Structure 1
Amino acid sequence: MYRISHLLILSLMFLSVEATSQTMGGDLTESETKTEKRSKKKKRKKTKLPDIDLSHWKVTIPEGSGKGGAISVEPPEILDYANNDILKPYMFNDSTKGALTFYAYPTSATTANTKYSRSELREQMVPGDDNVNWTFKKGGSLKAKLSVDEVSRDKTGKYHKVIILQIHGRLTNEQKELIGQKDNNAPPVLKIYWQNGKIRVKTKKLKFADVNSVGILHEEAWTDDEGFNFEQEVGFGKFQIEVKVTDGKMVVSLNNTEFAVYDDFNMKRWGVFENYFKAGNYFQSRDEGSFAKVSFYGLEVKH
């Protein structure tokens, strides 16, 4: 009787230990699974994509058949830029920062009327159509959050310049024919530079204030102003630029704390032209080995 009881107790003890062992093993496995899930969740959180609507932009890259032959990609193809092998080296997602990055360096593939390369967006009010644009009377605003991530230096040790935002002028087809010009190109009324860690604004002014309505259409009627330098140093960090255009007036702000205001007769007479916004990396160097990388975290246009 004792032997049977003893054996029964031993059996029950064995079963209890085995059950405890299995339970503990199950807890460890569950714990490991939770840790793994948390780790994966953290990894997922670190991956970000830029929230930028490209349905009204085309991009030009420093790739193509020489001067005037740089490749452009319009909507809807641009919407799949992440899978476009031609665009990938010049326009790509930085998923660690949640930014859309533009890379440029000197190549033989440039656009007409310039010697510099660009990886730059061009606004299209009607997707796929360059012929529909806006005037100062119609107005418009652009808000961009960006950073200049990397820029090469020249022989003196200064960083190369990069144009990050523009408002470009455009002749209508009627204006082009009136002055006998071969294309619709008009001067850019606004260029915003990143220059040695600071932001510089350049705009246009008339050479002669009383130029007539035909003469004003010629590029030679306009010249660069003296430029304006914002005091803040943005360096390689994030910053925000806002451009607001109304009839006869243009305001450029940096981080909503500094403002450059243009509301003289030059802006009033600029109303003769159509316009479009540009954003990205218009690299201002032909030096061998030079380059720049610009990232946009946000880009919004309204009319």
Structure 2
Amino acid sequence: MKKIRKEIISIILLSFLSVNAVCLAQESSVSESDIKVEKKSKKKKKKHKVKLPNIDLSHWKVTLPVANEKGKPYEIEPPEILGFASIKMAQPYMYIDSTRGAIVFHAMPTNSKTRNTKYTRSELREQMEPGNNNVNWTFKDGANMKGELAMDASSRDDEGKYHRTIIMQIHGRLTNEQRDLIGEDDNNAPPILKIYWDKGKIRIKTKVLKDLNATYEELLHEDAWGNDDGFNFEQEVGFRKFTLEVKVSDGKMVVILNNNEFKVYENIHMKKWGIFENYFKAGNYFQSRDEGSFSKVRFYKLEVSH
């Protein structure tokens, strides 16, 4: 009888051990499978989808904050600008952020400054005829520019405030005949519009005529025009993505932020400005000479029409 009991106990123990072994094997198998799935999931997460900015550069040239062999700011015009990503000189200052689908414009103080300014820029200049600065537009012709952009990074001043930069412009230009009439040695005219990223907000500056009775020839001189008091949009954009649109027509200029805030300029100053040719600018015209300062601006989209 005792012998039979021992055999029964032995059989029960063996059965128990067998069941446990099967369970452990199953647990081990599930665990290994889970690990494989998890590893695949992590690999998928590491693979970023390449995104490209929606910007046609065939009618833009860029000015970079670095000097060429003549000591002047380095510029890239069409068609070379279409391959800017492979141009070594451009790579630190204008490059593609393929994770966000944007072109980044990076500027900081250097000894390479454009004429009539103490600041440097990584900024696009519109060329209606690729490679030619002499073909431009007037307010009567009409023009539109729309961009989707964001401040990528910015240094701060001694008070802890972010440095500001100009992200869009409309720049005036003298025709060759106007230049010769007033005896100038270049075609430069004032910018009628400057749009700033200013401590996380969007600020606009424009020009006003000092003497409304000025003659045609007097209007052509840069010192005939002063600065207005400026205008700040209410919304703070910070480092988030936003849209800016500029619409120009005869005697009128409208600036739109995120399709819900508008600033309209329709006055005698806009009418008088009609004598000038103009061109759009967009990018990063950095407004600091502080040592170690910099800013980076991302452009996702940029469109111009006339």
Q: What is the TM-score of this pair, normalised by structure 2?
A: 0.85
TM-aligned CA deviation for residue 64 of structure 1 = 0.5
Does the CA-based 8 Å contact 1:102-1:119 persist in structure 2? yes
Map of 1:288-303 to 2, 5 A cutoff?
288-303=291-306
Map of 1:136-155 to 2, 5 A cutoff?
136-155=139-158
1:166 paired residue among 166, 169, 185: 169
The match for 1:71 is 74
The match for 1:13 is none
**CA–CA distance in 1 between the matches of 2:71 and 2:140?**
31
1:186 correspondence with 2:184: no
The match for 1:21 is none
TM-aligned CA deviation for residue 39 of structure 1 = 7.4
Q: 1:111 to 1:64 in 2, by over 3 A?
A: same
Question: 3-state DSSP class of the match of 1:244?
Answer: strand
1:249 correspondence with 2:252: yes
Q: 1:132 to 1:68 in 2, by over 3 A?
A: farther
TM-aligned CA deviation for residue 254 of structure 1 = 0.4
Q: Which moved more, 1:45-54 or 1:133-142?
A: 45-54
**CA–CA distance in 2 between the matches of 1:260 and 1:68?**
39
Question: 3-state DSSP class of the match of 1:80?
Answer: helix
The match for 1:130 is 133
Question: 3-state DSSP class of the match of 2:177?
Answer: helix
The match for 1:207 is 210
How high is the sequence identity, in percent, across the aligned residues?
64
The match for 1:229 is 232
**Matched residue type, 1:77:** E
Report how many aligned residue pairs link the two structures.
Answer: 272
**CA–CA distance in 1 between the matches of 2:47 and 2:54?**
17
The match for 1:87 is 90
1:102 paired residue among 84, 102, 105: 105
**Matched residue type, 2:234:** E
1:50 correspondence with 2:32: no
**Matched residue type, 2:178:** Q
Q: 1:267 to 1:67 in 2, by over 3 A?
A: farther
TM-aligned CA deviation for residue 149 of structure 1 = 1.2
1:282 correspondence with 2:285: yes
**CA–CA distance in 1 between the matches of 2:119 and 2:240?**
25
Q: 1:102 to 1:248 in 2, by over 3 A?
A: same
TM-aligned CA deviation for residue 116 of structure 1 = 0.1
Does the CA-based 8 Å contact 1:68-1:110 persist in structure 2? no
Q: 1:142 to 1:155 in 2, by over 3 A?
A: same
Does the CA-based 8 Å contact 2:255-2:263 persist in structure 1? yes
**CA–CA distance in 1 between the matches of 2:119 and 2:42?**
45
TM-aligned CA deviation for residue 47 of structure 1 = 1.9
**CA–CA distance in 1 between the matches of 2:70 and 2:155?**
23
**Matched residue type, 1:115:** K
TM-aligned CA deviation for residue 40 of structure 1 = 7.2
Q: 1:67 to 1:202 in 2, by over 3 A?
A: farther
**CA–CA distance in 2 between the matches of 1:282 and 1:52?**
19
Does the CA-based 8 Å contact 2:208-2:228 persist in structure 1? yes
Measured on the aligned residues, the alpha-carbon RMSD in Å equals: 2.0
Structure (1 or 2) with the larger CA radius of gyration: 2
**CA–CA distance in 1 between the matches of 2:257 and 2:160?**
26
Does the CA-based 8 Å contact 1:67-1:110 persist in structure 2? no
Does the CA-based 8 Å contact 1:64-1:71 persist in structure 2? yes
TM-aligned CA deviation for residue 46 of structure 1 = 2.6
Question: 3-state DSSP class of the match of 1:269?
Answer: helix
